[in-house]
Amino acid sequence: MGNLFQSAPKVEQLLSEVNYDGIIKYIQDGKCTNIITMAGAGISTSAGIPDFRTPGTGLYDNLAKYDLPNPQAIFEIHFFRKNPAPFYALAKELYPGVFKPTPCHYFLRLLHEKKLLLRHYTQNIDTLERVAGIPEEMIVEAHGTFATAHCIDCRKQFSQEWVKDKVFADEIPKCTDKKCGGLVKPDIVFFGENLPFRFLSCSMKDFPKCDLLIILGTSLAVQPFASLIDRVPDTTPRLYINLEKSESDASNLLSKLMGGGGGFDFESDSKYRDVFWQGTCDDGCVSLSERLGWKAELDKLTLEEHAKIDKEIGQ
Ligand code: OAD
Ligand code: ZN
């Protein structure tokens, strides 16, 4: 019988060196024109939006007032059916307001404008990628959006404004169909619900083509999004920019045992494509832009776009 842990046949290494310099050179040499970016809450914390799992500041550590059986229950569809009030109370605080996209968001837009971006996959529901001017067709909002809402029973659609008015009046939004009366929920994906069809259709065609994967500001704790990192070709380099190396070892081991891609390998002697850059997403993107000679462009874009937003909100 074969050894479960025996080493796999060696895969071709595309990076000249398996480190940050190697990634920069790979981009500079024009080796990648189908970059996929994958993001989580960490790309928006500098815009003032808390993430979920950072101890102390993360949303899940600050839900005590809602008296939940566990923090994630606030986004669980079965709990919501029984007790929707905590979610709507939180939604009142969470509704996308006037947050400004970060330098990281504008760096993603530059990747697109330079025709290097194949697609941006985000778990965020703050719509800051759209606000940053990345075209809608370039974005996959894997965990949905606040932009629309549906009755969870008859699927009748409601506008963001209609739901928002109810939520801000501390009313539970209920379906207007007299025979139905179901709960109306913004189209953000809850635990226990399917991801949007677009996630499936785009990821199936995009990931086999990806020639550089950049993962930013996510703990990679939530499936199926997290396992996308294993859907790129075996040779494709992967750059993970995050405050900490938070991909869970347990899921890594499980994935190895099940014959999956097995998560990242930043450390071992046989590493050949994975690079970890520790720090904030803004610093990581500013550093990339410096090394690629795009820093002045990034600064200009950020300044101009922020000035536009200030003007719109009359500041
Ligand atoms: P998490 O809160 O799980 O992870 C955010 C990650 O970003 C953590 O590893 C932080 O250390 C890191 N981080 C925070 N600020 C950063 C910064 N400025 N620069 C770099 N890294 C930073 O958030 P997500 O991974 O997005 O789903 O969470 C995934 C999903 O879990 C969410 O979409 C949400 C949640 O439950 C649903 O609600 C369905
Ligand atoms: Zn209904």
Which domain CATH number covers 240?
3.40.50.1220
For the whole model, what pTM was predicted? 0.92
Quick one: pLDDT at residue 1? 47
CB atoms within 10 A of CB 291: 16
Number of domains in the chain: 1
Evaluate whether residue 180 is within a structural domain. no
In the chain, beta strands by DSSP E: 35-39, 117-122, 139-141, 144-151, 157-159, 184-188, 212-216, 238-242, 274-278
- Ligand 1 pocket by Cβ (under 6 Å): 40-42, 45-46, 51-54, 58, 75, 123, 143, 189, 217-219, 221-222, 242-244, 246, 280-281
Number of helices and strands in the chain (H, E): 10, 9
Evaluate whether residue 119 is within a structural domain. yes
Evaluate whether residue 62 is within a structural domain. no
Evaluate whether residue 28 is within a structural domain. yes
Evaluate whether residue 154 is within a structural domain. no
Alpha helix locations (H) across 65-220? Answer: 77-82, 85-94, 103-113, 128-131, 160-168, 197-206
Q: Is 143 an annotated catalytic residue?
A: yes
CB distance 107 to 285 below 8 Å: yes
Evaluate whether residue 179 is within a structural domain. no
Evaluate whether residue 234 is within a structural domain. yes
CB distance 264 to 229 below 8 Å: yes
Quick one: pLDDT at residue 162? 96
Domain extent, residue 39, equals: 20-49+99-143+193-314
- Which tokens sit at 201? 């259709």
Evaluate whether residue 231 is within a structural domain. yes
Q: How far is the CA of 300 from the centre of ligand 1 (A)?
A: 28
Splitting the chain (315 residues) into consecutive groups of 10 residues, what average pLDDT does each group show? 59 96 98 97 95 92 91 96 94 80 98 98 94 97 93 96 94 96 96 95 98 97 95 98 78 55 86 97 98 98 96 81
CB distance 233 to 209 below 8 Å: no
Nearest CA to ligand 1 atom 35: 52
- Which tokens sit at 289? 């832009």
Question: What is the chain's alpha carbon radius of gyration, rounded to the nearest angstrom?
Answer: 21
